[in-house]
Amino acid sequence: MTPPEHLFIGFSIGNIFYALQTFFKKKYLPYLFIIFMSGIFAIIPDADSFFGNYLSTDVYTGHRGITHSVLFVSALSAVISFLSVVLVFLKRLFNKREISNLHSFVFFLFSLIFLSVLSHLIADLPQPPGVWKGIPLFYPHTSGESFSRIGGWSKIGWYDYKIFWTLFYSVLVSLFLIAAGFVLRKLSFRKFTKVISMLIIVFNISVFIWLGCYVGNSQYIDAKQWDKKQIGYLTNSNRIISGLTIRGKDCFLKIFRIIK
């Protein structure tokens, strides 16, 4: 998947975490910070696209290398969580306040980061094998003289317009529900907060279930077949969606080439 699709998946995960936080009446992190964290960490494994040789199969210098492993996900989540604890201690030290619910906060933050980064790896598995033949999900496990790779299932292509727009719409729906919950709280209708939080959770989980079913029933044969399928989707879409999609794709490719 492309970074925008990974980003929207991260946003959906962030919305679920915010809804869980609201449902259980906790205030670990503000909404914008949760969304920022989940979005950034959902695309961060592709940082290796801009360093080294993009087409290299080396797990250290190429794309889809060590950043696409569970080890990287775990280490990154642990480091960020540890740094956050240090910041909390420093803040409470100068404010001379007691630290409460620290374990719950760390678990919340670690889970948010871990699942956001892991979502990227899972989303890459059904794509074509490419030159990398999958991702080193369980690095440093080896197979023969090279690191083991899994994935490359060729269920979807490198991009998918239907997935992109479905995730985009789902994020908008979640934002509407979150805004509605905020307004209701301001109007002292707090008893509806849990209902809206549960709707957000169920809705986003349903989107992920749809995504799994869609990918499972799809099939990538080659670039020509996939491009034809994507053009067919745009043909059945309205002009606004079609125009935005084509311009967005061109803009994304230009930005990637400039950065690369």
**Res 95: pLDDT:** 60
pLDDT value of position 259: 63
Q: What is the pLDDT of residues 179-198, one digit of tens each?
A: 998 888 878 777 788 899 99
pLDDT of residue 260 exceeding 70, the answer is no
Both tokens of residue 64? 């889809």
What are 84-140's pLDDT values in tens digits?
Answer: 888 877 776 556 555 567 888 899 999 999 999 999 999 999 999 999 999 999 999
Q: How far is CA 215 from the centre of its chain?
A: 16
Separation CA 212–CA 192 (nearest Å): 31
Return the amino acid letter for 100.
S
